[in-house]
């Protein structure tokens, strides 16, 4: 629905002046009051009072949409006549298209928002403060949310978003490919304390040789494009580095250089990582491993191969889980902010967070600590879901910045230059830092 072109609904506030003008010519008889009351009651239960909330998301997955539409149906018990339209925008285009909608005067009422965009949108004052509505809900229990998980979504008493997914990256692996290569899988190696960056490189190479398919693929096959940070950060964190901290670029530091050099060697020397311009597609069985989040497990219900999930490999700095986070926000330019905020409160209450936990790991401490969480995903055994729960506790959210769009735009051509066989990794990363340092 295009709110900019939406005709004004018939409401009691519009009806009363009209009704009063009709009765005025007849001496405003007292009999008019019951008529007005009856009309008001009729309108309150009629389709004229129905409202539609537009909610942007980046998933088109049937299982996710079934769950979300279930929440929308449940909301009708609280707000009869209210419908929710979920509008899917592909992840690679999501933030840009959302920005265009807001700038063009056609904002959605509600939307998902990625962690790297949260500071930018909050500082631009385009997000509604949800605190008044959330605090007014008797059984909402906002204190149940993990304080660290709220870091990107609050500013003092102001709440500009509620995290619905605090999802660590995990290693998905193709068990059949490991078996064919005669290798222990990552979960077994992790249990023995042998799942590290050195082992990761070694098994990726052996998987490629034994199966004739790539040993590893970056997240969603987009590690060179829209998922640059998702590709770089797990190894960099494992080596003890970071993209930036305290307004200083960290990509040109020795630990980050060592991590990226290892990836570069795997792409161009070992030829075990899907290179730029090619696709491996782990989820179709064409790569041995990939890093992703448990929301992607839903597409594995009919997988033609055995698979599992394991922790990320450790590095010189030990365990360093990386967390991708997303929140639900209400847009300040929306036409139905109060109603939208009420739907956010409904979707993020304890009961519905517990339902969503099968796909989107929760920020609510009570849900995360429950046995229901590790048993929530029918496709992932409880012992593997404990990997997820452990990583949430120990992990750190992906880097974010209020100038993230500009930073990523400045990074892109320099990172493109990095992913060439003849590239000097250290020199390339110094060029990245030179480009983004003024923005930090």
Q: Encode pLDDT of 268-300 as tens digits.
A: 999 999 999 998 899 999 999 999 999 999 899
For residue 147, what pLDDT is reported?
86
Q: Which of 27-41, 76-90, 209-223, 358-372 shows the lowest mean pLDDT across its residues? A: 27-41
Cα–Cα separations (whole angstroms), residue 392 to 87, 386, 397: 29, 10, 9
Spell 172-194 as b/e; 16+ CB within 10 A means b.
bbbebbbeebebbbbbebbeeee
- Looking at the chain, the whole-number percentage of residues with pLDDT higher than 70 is 89
Over the stretch 51-101, which tens digit does the pLDDT of each residue have? 999 999 999 999 999 999 999 999 999 999 999 999 999 998 999 999 999
Least confident segment among 59-73, 339-353, 384-398: 384-398
The mean pLDDT of 236-246, rounded to a whole number, is: 96
CATH numbers and ranges of domains, the chain: 3-47 (no CATH), 51-168+324-397 (3.40.190.10), 170-320+403-439 (3.40.190.10)
Residue 33 confidence class, pLDDT cut points 50, 70, 90: very low
Top pLDDT among 262 and 91 is at 262
Predicted confidence (pLDDT) at residue 40 exceeds the cutoff of 60:
no
Question: What is this structure's pTM?
Answer: 0.80
Q: Can you give the pLDDT at residue 394?
A: 86
Region 260-267: what's the mean pLDDT? Answer: 98
* Angle ∠(171,173,177) on CA atoms, nearest 5: 155
The answer on pLDDT for 5 being more than 90 is no
Structural contact between residues 235 and 204, judged by C-beta atoms closer than 8 angstroms:
no
Average pLDDT of 371-395?
Answer: 91
Give me the mean pLDDT over the 326-350 stretch.
97
What does the pLDDT average to over 38-59? 64
Is pLDDT of 1 > 70? no
Q: What is the mean pLDDT of the chain?
A: 89
Beta-ladder partners of 290: 172, 217
pLDDT at 226: 87
Residue scoring higher pLDDT (134 or 395) = 134
Q: Identify the pLDDT of residue 346.
A: 98
Q: Which long-range contacts (CB under 8 A, 24 or more apart) does 259-264 make?
A: 259/197, 259/232, 259/235, 259/315, 260/232, 260/235, 260/236, 260/418, 260/425, 260/429, 261/425, 261/426, 262/197, 262/201, 262/235, 263/231, 263/232, 263/235, 264/418, 264/419, 264/423, 264/425
The better pLDDT of the pair 7, 97 is held by: 97
Residue whose C-alpha is closest to residue 100's, from 68, 52, 56:
56
Residue pair 366/350 in contact by the 8 Å Cβ criterion: yes
Q: How many CB atoms lie within 10 A of CB 65?
A: 14
Tell me what pLDDT residue 7 has.
Answer: 34
Gap between the Cα atoms of 164 and 353, Å rounded: 7
pLDDT for 92 equals 86
Instruction: Show Cβ contacts of residue 299 under 8 Å, excluding neighbours closer than 6 positions.
Output: 61, 283
pLDDT value, residue 50: 65
Which residues are CB-contacts of 120 (< 8 A; sequence separation ≥ 6)?
A: 401, 402, 403, 404, 405
- How far apart CA 386 and CA 43 sit, in angstroms, is 51
The CA distances from residue 56 to 25, 237, 329, in Å, are: 49, 31, 10
Cβ neighbourhood burial of 281 (10 Å; 0-12, 13-18, 19+): middle
């Amino acid at each position: 629905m295009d709110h900019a072109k939406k005709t004004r609904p018939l409401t009691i506030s519009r009806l009363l002046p009209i009704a009063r003008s009709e009765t005025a010519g007849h001496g405003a008889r007292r009999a008019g009051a019951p008529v007005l009351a009856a009309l008001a009651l009729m309108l309150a239960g009629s389709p004229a009072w129905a409202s539609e909330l537009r909610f942007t998301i980046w998933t088109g997955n049937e299982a996710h949409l079934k769950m979300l539409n279930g929440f929308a149906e449940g909301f009708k018990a609280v707000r009869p006549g209210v419908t929710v339209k979920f509008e899917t925008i592909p992840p690679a285009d999501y933030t840009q298209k959302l920005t265009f909608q807001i700038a063009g005067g056609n904002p959605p009422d509600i939307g998902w928002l990625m962690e790297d965009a949260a500071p930018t949108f909050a500082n631009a004052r385009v997000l509604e403060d949800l605190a008044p509505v959330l605090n007014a809900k008797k059984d909402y229990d906002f204190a149940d949310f993990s304080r660290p998980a709220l870091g990107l979504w609050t500013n003092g008493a102001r709440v500009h978003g509620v995290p619905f997914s605090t999802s660590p990256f995990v290693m998905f692996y193709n068990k059949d490919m490991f078996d064919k290569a005669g290798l222990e899988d990552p979960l077994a190696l992790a249990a023995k304390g042998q799942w590290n960056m050195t082992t990761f490189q070694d098994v990726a190479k052996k998987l490629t040789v034994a199966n004739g398919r790539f040993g590893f693929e970056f997240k969603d096959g987009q590690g060179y494009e829209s998922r640059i940070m998702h590709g770089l950060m797990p190894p960099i964190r494992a080596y003890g580095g970071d993209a930036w901290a305290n307004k200083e670029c960290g990509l040109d530091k020795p630990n980050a250089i060592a991590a990226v050099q290892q990836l570069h060697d795997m792409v161009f020397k070992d030829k075990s990582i899907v290179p730029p311009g090619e696709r491996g597609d782990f989820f179709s069985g064409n790569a041995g491993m990939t890093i992703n989040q448990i929301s992607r497990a839903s597409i594995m219900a009919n997988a033609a191969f055995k698979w599992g999930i394991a922790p990320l490999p450790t590095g010189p700095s030990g365990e360093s889980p990386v967390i991708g986070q997303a929140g639900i926000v209400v847009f300040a330019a929306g036409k139905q902010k109060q109603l939208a905020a009420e739907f956010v409160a409904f979707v993020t209450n304890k009961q519905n967070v517990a339902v969503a936990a099968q796909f989107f790991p929760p920020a609510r401490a009570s849900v995360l600590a429950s046995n229901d969480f590790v048993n929530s995903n029918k496709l992932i055994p409880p012992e593997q879901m404990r990997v997820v729960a452990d990583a949430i506790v120990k992990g750190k959210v992906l880097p974010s910045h209020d100038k993230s769009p500009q930073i990523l735009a400045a990074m892109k051509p320099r990172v493109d230059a990095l992913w060439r066989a003849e590239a000097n990794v250290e020199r390339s990363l110094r060029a990245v830092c030179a480009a983004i340092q003024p923005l930090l």
